[in-house]
């Protein structure tokens, strides 16, 4: 459906949990954050009710996120059931990859179309420093397994000067060896991300050219998002950049988000949204739920104000509590 300024909103990101098996320093403290109780998060039945409602409003693509979605019991069956909803054309997932190797076969059988694996360093020491966990081998195994099963695979890397600024060539090199798109996602000043400095796209492009040859803009379609992609000589995959801050793409934003506790977020930057959980548990009708969501989408904010502007209603939660 179209929102109030004419953007076609066809993409929903569903956070199924705020729990995670890593402790990335730009996302949460070492001891983690207080997790939602079992009764506070949406049940799969409630998630499916929302997914069915939005499919009638023109949502065609669903991405399952967390926290880490693979830690939630029954996630494979949820993916299978969302895939079966009329109107839903694609179900994908964002994961840290730790459990991906063990679950890739089931996910492929359930119909998962694609997976984005968060990976910030190919150096084991840097990986441990960033995630506070020693499991790089499991993540790389998950990437290989997903590729071997034909699940379309992408890498998401957040380049941060203080953490992985010197390790990025190794991440780029994945796209040389595998038909995988590597995307560099600009650090967003949310939660603990405010404590670090991003590596600019311009600097990364210069490094790429010095290390791998001249990057050429890609003319291929690479997915649903706003990434700008480049091809490099001899590479099987491409390298992309997602720049929500330095190159704002709010005018073409096509997405909404559902948090694990049932809040429909219209923009990542604002804590405003629509609390759907009380409506579902209060017995709202299918038509009533659809109308509430339709009205919310129509009033989606024009743009974020990360670069400055009004500080009212700014999101203060950490990314793990929001859903990436």
**What total of structural domains would you count in the chain?**
1
Query: Would 5 be classed as within a structural domain?
Result: no
Structure tokens that stand for 267 in this block: 């923009």
Does some domain include residue 147? yes
CA distance readout (Å), 132 to 4, 23, 124, 319 = 43, 6, 11, 17
Q: Is the residue at 4 inside a domain?
A: no
Query: What whole-number distance in Å separates Cα of residue 319 and Cα of residue 116?
Result: 16
The answer to whether residue 2 is domain-embedded is no
Q: Is residue 258 part of a domain?
A: yes
pTM for the model: 0.89
Tens-level pLDDT at each residue, the chain (324 residues): 999 999 999 999 999 999 999 999 998 888 888 889 989 999 999 999 999 999 999 999 999 999 999 999 999 999 999 999 999 999 999 999 999 999 999 999 999 999 999 999 999 999 999 999 999 999 999 999 999 999 999 999 999 999 998 889 999 999 999 999 999 998 877 778 888 998 888 889 999 999 999 999 998 878 766 788 999 999 999 999 987 665 556 777 899 999 999 999 998 767 778 999 999 999 999 999 999 999 999 999 875 554 455 555 554 455 554 555
pLDDT at 306: 47
Distance separating alpha carbons of residues 115 and 94, to the nearest angstrom: 6
Q: How far apart are CA 17 and CA 66, in angstroms?
A: 5
CATH code of the domain containing 93: 3.20.20.70
Give the per-residue pLDDT at 301.
85
Buried b (16+ CB within 10 A) or exposed e, 4-29: eeebebbbbbbbbbbbbebbbbbbbe
Determine the structural domain holding residue 174 and report its residue range: 11-322
State the Cα–Cα distance between residues 212 and 160, nearest whole angstrom: 21
Residue 236 maps to a domain: yes
SS (H, E, C) 133-187: CCCHHHHHHHHHHHHHCCCEEEEEECCECCCCCCCHHHHHCHHHHCCCEEEEECC
Residue 1 inside a domain? The answer is no
Residue 292 lies in a domain: yes
Give, rounded to a whole angstrom, the gap between the first and last alpha carbons of the chain.
22
In which region does residue 169 sit, left (phi positive, over 0), alpha (psi from -120 to 50) or beta (all else)? alpha
């Amino acid at each position: 459906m179209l929102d109030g300024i004419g953007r076609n909103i066809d993409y929903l990101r569903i956070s199924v949990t705020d729990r995670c098996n890593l402790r990335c320093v730009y996302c949460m403290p070492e001891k983690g954050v207080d997790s939602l109780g079992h009764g506070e998060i949406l049940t799969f039945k409630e998630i499916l009710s929302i997914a069915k409602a939005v499919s009638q409003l023109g949502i065609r693509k669903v991405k399952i996120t967390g926290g880490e979605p693979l830690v939630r019991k029954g996630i494979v069956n949820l993916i299978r059931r969302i895939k079966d909803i009329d109107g839903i054309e694609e179900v994908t997932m964002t994961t840290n990859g730790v459990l991906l190797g063990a679950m890739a076969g089931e996910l492929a059988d359930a119909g998962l179309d694609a997976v984005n694996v968060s990976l910030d360093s190919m150096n084991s020491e840097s990986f441990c420093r960033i995630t506070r966990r020693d499991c790089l081998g499991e993540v790389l195994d998950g990437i290989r397994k997903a590729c071997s099963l034909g699940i379309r695979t992408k890498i998401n890397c957040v380049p941060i000067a203080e953490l992985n600024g010197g390790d990025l060539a190794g991440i780029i090199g994945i796209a040389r060896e595998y038909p995988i798109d590597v995307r560099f996602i600009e650090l967003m000043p949310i939660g603990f991300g405010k404590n670090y400095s991003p590596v600019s796209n311009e600097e990364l492009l210069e490094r790429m050219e010095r290390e791998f040859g001249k990057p050429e803009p890609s003319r291929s379609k690479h997915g649903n998002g706003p990434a700008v992609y480049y091809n490099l000589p001899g590479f099987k995959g491409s390298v992309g950049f997602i720049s929500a801050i330095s190159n704002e793409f709010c005018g073409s934003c096509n997405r909404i988000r559902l948090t694990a506790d049932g809040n429909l977020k219209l923009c990542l930057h604002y804590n405003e949204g629509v609390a759907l959980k009380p409506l579902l548990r209060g017995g709202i009708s299918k038509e009533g739920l659809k109308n509430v969501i339709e009205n919310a989408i129509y009033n989606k904010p024009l743009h974020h104000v990360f670069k400055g502007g009004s500080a009212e209603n700014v999101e203060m939660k950490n990314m793990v509590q929001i859903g990436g």
